Amino acid sequence: MATYLDRIAAWHRAAASADRRDVKELAARACECPPTRDFVKALQAPTGNVSGGGGGAIALVAEIKRRSPSKGELAPDLDPAEVARAYEAGGASCLSVLTDGPHFGGSPDDLQAARTAVGLPVLRKDFTVSASDVFDARVMGADAVLLIVAMLAPEELAELHHLAVALGMAALVEVHDEHELEQALETGTGLVGVNQRDLHSFEVDRERAARVARHVPAGVLKIAESGVESAADVAALARAGFDGVLVGEALLRSRDRSAAAAELLRRAVPCG
């Protein structure tokens, strides 16, 4: 049975196959772009006060998205610049911006507006399946790209990771289990995202992140994704050794997004 990710991946692969743009021209444009903001450094020096995997504060990667396949419409009329400024004021270390249109209602314009409004590094949250996707991310101003192990063959993962790094971007390599983690680490990545959402049921498994985190080597930054809704969740993930959390829906649904971001970082004090 096809998962939601299978269906989204199929759509993006079909779009990549139909793309008739000149890859060399895309590459040239990407290479001419201004320097990126340091996504990894921002994660290593967060503004929150919750102890993370490295012993310092845990980082908040605050997400901007208009809708999701699981929750439907979240904030279809949001102003990306306004949301980005609220997140920055609330203590976010980085932004994640959905640019997928058909499934999440996003666009490159959302990313550009958010990044222009703040000084934070920005992750292009999309479904990267080709070199053109990586070049596009660089051209639109992204400082990091998402590479989902479940969507990519090992050789594709290695190639796209190498390309992103060569273009000056960070690559957040997303995994769902220990087997995918092994594949991620083979790329030499220093940045792993552990998605707590089950690919088949789309339900959140709150034990998944802690279980996978135990197998991540020292020196590799760990970001927990999906199902992070409260300060207690952040504290639990900090205790599990995570360096950061990626949060979207809990912030987007808040009336005061700046206060909601600050609440996650200030109140989530680990015990013991």
Active-site annotation holder among 96, 226, 249, 258? 226
Low-confidence ranges of the chain (pLDDT < 70): 1-2, 47-56, 200-201, 267-272
At residue 190, the pLDDT reads: 97
Annotated active-site residue 155? The verdict is no
Tens digit of each residue's pLDDT (9 = 90 or more) over 183-208:
999 999 999 999 998 776 677 888 88
Please answer whether residues 47 and 93 qualify as being in contact, where contact means their C-beta atoms are separated by less than 8 angstroms.
Answer: yes
Annotated active-site residue 125? The verdict is yes
d(CA 7, CA 12): 9
At residue 205, the pLDDT reads: 83
pLDDT above 90: percentage of residues in the chain: 79
How many CA atoms lie less than 13 Å away from 105 in the CB half-sphere?
Answer: 16
CATH of domain 36-267: 3.20.20.70
At residue 261, the pLDDT reads: 96
Annotated active-site residue 195? The verdict is yes
At residue 68, the pLDDT reads: 84
At residue 242, the pLDDT reads: 95
Active-site annotation holder among 125, 132, 222, 258? 125
Q: For the chain, what are the domain ranges?
A: 36-267
Residue 88: closest CA among 114, 52, 65: 114
Active-site annotation holder among 63, 88, 180, 263? 63
At residue 203, the pLDDT reads: 77
At residue 271, the pLDDT reads: 38
At residue 106, the pLDDT reads: 95
d(CA 159, CA 155): 6
Active-site annotation holder among 88, 130, 174, 263? 174
Active-site annotation holder among 96, 195, 222, 249? 195
Annotated active-site residue 63? The verdict is yes
At residue 144, the pLDDT reads: 98
Tens digit of each residue's pLDDT (9 = 90 or more) over 51-68:
555 555 899 999 999 998
Those residues whose C-beta lies under 8 Å from the C-beta of residue 181, and which sit 6 or more positions away, are: 175, 192, 194, 212, 215, 216
The CA-atom distances, in angstroms, between 131 and each of 147, 170, 259 are 12, 15, 38
Annotated active-site residue 65? The verdict is yes
At residue 269, the pLDDT reads: 41
At residue 270, the pLDDT reads: 42
At residue 272, the pLDDT reads: 34
Tokens in use for 239?
Answer: 């205790």
Active-site annotation holder among 88, 180, 225, 249? 225
Taking residue 153's Cβ as centre, other Cβ atoms within 10 Å add up to 10
